[in-house]
Amino acid sequence: MNEITPVINKWYKHENGDLFEIVALDSEDGTIEVQYFDGTIEQLDFDTWEEMQIEEAEPPEDWSGSVDIDDEDLEDLEDEPEEDIHDPLEYLDRQD
């Protein structure tokens, strides 16, 4: 039986290695909403939680698990000014 208390924004790991985060708790409904590293969301009841074989885990270093973006796409998203601008507001003003 699992004695780990579910805490929002904490990460846990199934015995099979799947990482997930608690994203919501509803004590009135008796449910726990978890989001797996790949973005899948699942709702569990507290009884199911207590039966799970899990352990606490560190958050993944790679945040992109739940985001469907390739490395090549990230390069296109980089928006760096061509000139050396020290004031962010000045950079935004020039975006017109």
Nearest-angstrom CA–CA distance, 59 and 10 = 8
Name beta bridge partners: 56: 12
Q: What are the two backbone dihedrals, phi and then psi, of residue 70, each rounded to the nearest 5 degrees? A: -85, 160
Q: What is the pLDDT of residue 88?
A: 67
Q: What is the pLDDT of residue 20?
A: 94
Q: What is the pLDDT of residue 43?
A: 96
DSSP-derived 3-state class of residue 77: helix
Number of residues that this document lists for the chain? 96
Residue 66 DSSP label: G
List of the chain residues with pLDDT < 70: 63-86, 88, 91-92, 95-96
Q: Is the pTM of this model over 0.75?
A: no
Q: What is the pLDDT of residue 9?
A: 93
Q: What is the pLDDT of residue 57?
A: 94
Q: Name the region of 15 (left: φ>0; alpha: ψ -120 to 50; beta: rest).
A: alpha
